Amino acid sequence: MSAVAVKGWCPGALRPMRSGDGLVVRIRPRAGRLDAAQAAGIAELAARDTATA
């Protein structure tokens, strides 16, 4: 079995992790659920140009 390699930190809103095609952010919704408006807001933010982030 191969060893697990740690490649960074757990990315959050205050400290995102750059990836090959943008930023990675972990979203931790309250109670582990998002409503439709919240999910749409996250999708809208994800679709924005990362050059402005």
**pLDDT tens track for 7-47:** 777 888 888 888 888 888 888 898 999 999 999 998 898 88
- Distance, CA of 1 to chain centre: 29
pTM for the model stands at: 0.59
Tokens, residue 38:
């919240």
pLDDT at position 9: 76
For residue 25, how many other CB atoms are within 10 A of its CB?
16
> Is 1 a residue whose pLDDT tops 70?
no
Contacts (Cβ under 8 Å, ≥6 apart) of 22: 46, 50
pLDDT at position 23: 83
The residue type at 24:
V
